[in-house]
Amino acid sequence: MANPMASEHLAELMSKAQVWLSQDPDNHTRTQLESLVTQAPNDPAALAELTDAFIAPLEFGTAGLRGKLGAGPNRMNRVVVIQTAAGLAQYLIDTGHSGESVVIGYDGRHNSDVFARDSAAVLAGAGLIPLLFEHVVPTPVLAFAIRELNTCAGIMVTASHNPPQDNGYKVYLGDGRQIVTPADEQIAQCIRAITDVTAVPRSDVCHEVPSFVMDRYVSSLSSAIHSGPTRSEERSDVVSVYTAMHGVGWATLREAFVACDFKEPIAVIAQRDPDPDFPTVAFPNPEEKGALDLAIAQANDSHAEVLIANDPDADRLAVALPIGNGGWKTLHGDQVGCLLAWWVLERANRSGVILDGVFGSSVVSSMLLERIAQDANLKYSQTLTGFKWISRVPGLVYGYEEALGYCVNPEFVGDKDGISAATFILEMMAALKSEGRTPWDVLDDLARKYGLHSSAQVSVKVSDMSLVPQIMGRLRSSPPQTLGRFAVSQIVDLQTPDSGLPPTDGVILHLAGDSDILRARVIVRPSGTEPKIKCYLEVVSALQDVADAEVSNEAALLELSKDSQPLLLI
């Protein structure tokens, strides 16, 4: 006997699918959906896929949209993009920007160019002036273009370092920064009001982004480097290997390096050019295990002194350094972040520049940056996770987040920028090489001065996102008294106003130290981009000997990792 509820569910799905098919301008996703509709009554897998595709619309938030490509409101496709562009256009008109320009960029993922052109047509149909890049561009170039062209907004079609089957849609306003609340909800309301994309006005009137935008972006980097403390012959003496991770960073980074008088980086050819299938990596994220294997092999063959990697849209930067006997070690994001902080200060001192401003980092990044800033008589600001917050720090001169995001040129780019950060890394390498030193020496100096800061992460994938409030609620109501051998000395609930930050879902557990560990910290928060709950662990050594401190910190992090895991489980 047929299940009435199952039959009703199937009938509702079929009705939604037919409405969708009547609006979808894309032959590929229409065919895909028609196939699911045909198979769903007799194929559980097809029914599950159809159910998921229509379970709810992709949620537009401060990170814009990001999701799997395919048909349905819970996927990235032309219908969703047209709705989103129309909602954004209405928001811009409602906030006084009728007739103004919006710049649009896109990466090399599947359909990124199509989504960009659809967005341009919708904006033009609404009376705005779309400025569309004629080729793929890194995300930081799009952020730069907003300020350079004085547009009222910017759109970047990218899913950053997500899997190949995903795409996404980032929105910036006229300040060149990603949106924050309440703009995200106001735009989302406008998007929800678009129920029939066939009624959305469109126009073919579109303008290309002037070529001088890329020239001026590169010039902003070369001007910074040429005004710094290194000589051209020093900069050209550093051998680097670079991987674009099948993304869009190579052409821009190469041009920037040449303009800065760096030796042209040796590219990992198999990963140099955009490829939406990311064929040589399991996951196109430089942080993932194995992602840099080809680059490390190239670095050994080329006797390189540094390996640099961008993620596919080139807003993040990974750095690896040789450790002898053909071995390489990838630096943690906090290590790169603090090396860059040291170099921002050092290059100013060497150039006779008095640095005035603020260092900023996200709450889950290392506590070391605050110590470095205080020691340099600079202010420090801690923000929520994400560059949409870091970039808004008043007077920012340098900011970073541990997830490989760095902003060394905030005057020009109001977002993380993996290309400008790479130029600063190479400049630092050149200066150190001229003195017979390496970044390892600087990291050791920082450890001896401030105590070795070591970080790690523990994360658990959550199959049912409804479990997240339960897990976080249990942590708040029954927090641990100890983690590892360390007593919990203070608990900060980031949802409360007295945390000093805008309310967000997260808990900080400050831990008392002992004879080896000066202090420690565990932060628990749901991921903002993935179905995960994460623990960010950090310990600060009380030991002066760096080798001893490394052993002690590693043992402490292992203890904390083991005891933190149960906090993330139901």
CA distance 185 to 414: 21
Number of H helices, E strands in the chain: 19, 21
Both tokens of 419, joined, read 């290309």
CA distance 192 to 211: 36
Give yes or no for a contact between 532 and 460, defined as CB atoms under 8 angstroms apart: yes
Helix (H) or strand (E) segment spanning residue 425: helix 418-434
Burial class (CB in 10 A: 0-12, 13-18, 19+), 378: buried
Q: Which amino acid is at 97?
A: H
CA distance 141 to 160: 14
Give yes or no for a contact between 174 and 145, defined as CB atoms under 8 angstroms apart: no
Note the helical H segments in 436-516: 439-450, 467-477
In the three-class reduction of DSSP (H, G, I as helix; E, B as strand; rest coil), residue 166 is classed as: strand
What are residue 151's phi and psi, to 5 degrees?
-85, 165
Residue 112 makes CB contacts below 8 A (sequence gap 6+) with 106, 136, 157, 158, 167, 276
What are residue 35's phi and psi, to 5 degrees?
-65, -45
From the CA atom positions of the chain, what is the Rg in Å? 25
In the chain, the largest separation of any two C-alpha atoms, in whole Å, equals 84
Among the options 101, 112, 119, 160, which is catalytic?
Answer: 160
Catalytic site includes residue 552: no
Under DSSP, the state recorded for 331 is: P
Residue with tokens 């938030």: 61
Burial 15-54 (b: 16+ CB within 10 A, else e): eebeebeebbebebbbebbeebbeebeeeeebbebbbebb
In the three-class reduction of DSSP (H, G, I as helix; E, B as strand; rest coil), residue 221 is classed as: helix
What number of other Cβ atoms are within 10 A of residue 4's Cβ?
8
Edge-first strand order for the sheet with 101-106 is 65-68, 166-173, 153-157, 101-106, 129-132, 207-208
Which positions are annotated as active-site residues?
A: 160
